[in-house]
Amino acid sequence: MTPRVWTALGALVAVVGVVLAIVGLDLGEHGADGSIAAVSFGSPQAINEEYYATYPSPHTPGSGTATAVDITLKNTGDSPLRIVRIEAKVLDETMINCSRQGGGSVVSAFYSIVIPYHFGKLTSDSTSAPVNFTVKPDSVDRMVITVGPKETINGHAIVLGLQLRLIPESGDPIEVEPFAVSQPESVSRAIKLVTSGFLQRGDTDNYLGQCATEQVSALDRIFQVTKVQADDVKALRTTYAGVAT
């Protein structure tokens, strides 16, 4: 063949190679494409706990409940979406305590995601936990988790305003809309202390009214930085707003 023919054939082969590459890419897998379809709160789930005093003492095993955070994930891609880690950031938080009684009882709970809390104080505003959750291609699935403080003290409810990020095996993190949760049993106790009139007994200097005002203000800050709040957290705010001065 002449050099001109070889040149033409070479150009043709190059064009065919490009076309095949484009077709191959178009027909191949595009990967996972995850997004949040919904966030809601389910019925309280049972979790393991330990009880002990603030001074060195034996830990007694027990059980409690935690709000179930129900995250609906959608994968519109043609590959499985694998979530391998959840990152949590505390946007705001407060401990509900309008009781003048002291004490030193501690509850340590085992949540899916444990927020660093020690003796009633937040020790870090961020943490993470490994998970193993997969959404099949072109489908929707629900991930149910629990999240709460490492320790609560004297049964006081801790309300957390949280931002979660779901970290996939590959691709960009998926952000969950900010939400507020607490501990169901502690919230119920905090509400009963007010509605039963227990905290009003002997309250000659309106301590409860002033304390409730501060608590409502703290809860309002959390509500401002979150999109959704668990029902018991909303009930807690309503109850304390009723006695605030």
| Model confidence pLDDT, tens digit, residues 12-28 | 444 445 444 444 444 55
Where are the domains positioned within the chain? 34-241
Secondary structure element (H or E) that encloses residue 145, with its range: strand 139-145
Tell me the pLDDT band of 102, cut-offs 50, 70 and 90. low
pLDDT at 170: 92
**pLDDT grade for 4, boundaries at 50, 70 and 90:** low
- What is the distance of C-alpha 66 from the center of its chain? 12
- Dihedral sign for Cα atoms in the order 227, 90, 114, 171: positive
Q: Which amino acid is at 46?
A: A
**Which of the 8 DSSP states describes residue 230?**
-
Amino acid 238: pLDDT: 97
pLDDT at 1: 54
pLDDT, position 194: 86
Handedness of CA 221, 222, 226, 231 (dihedral sign): negative
72-94 mean pLDDT: 97
* Mean per-residue pLDDT, 65-86: 97
Helix (H, G, I), strand (E, B) or coil at 234: helix
Q: What does the alpha-carbon distance between residue 47 and residue 233 come to, in Å, rounded to a whole number?
A: 19
Residues 141-172 have pLDDT tens digits of: 999 999 999 999 988 999 999 999 999 999 99
pLDDT confidence tier of residue 29, bands split at 50, 70 and 90 = low
pLDDT at 133: 97
Mean model confidence pLDDT for the chain: 87
Query: Coil, strand, or helix at residue 224?
Result: helix
Q: Do residues 184 and 235 touch, judged by C-beta distance below 8 A?
A: no
Q: Which residue has the higher pLDDT, 199 or 56?
A: 199
DSSP 35: E
How much is the pTM? 0.84
When pLDDT is cut at 50, 70 and 90, the band that residue 100 belongs to is confident
Task: Give the pLDDT mean for 171-197.
Answer: 94
Q: Are the C-beta atoms of 69 and 145 separated by less than 8 Å?
A: yes
pLDDT tens readout for residues 209-236: 899 999 999 999 999 999 999 999 999 9
Distance from C-alpha of 181 to C-alpha of 40, rounded to nearest angstrom: 11
Summarize the confidence of residues 31-49 as an average pLDDT. 95
Q: What is each CA distance from 192 to 4, 78, 198, in whole angstroms?
A: 93, 51, 8
CA distance 82 to 31: 11
* Residue 229: both structure tokens together: 């709040």
* Whether the predicted pLDDT of 7 surpasses 60: no
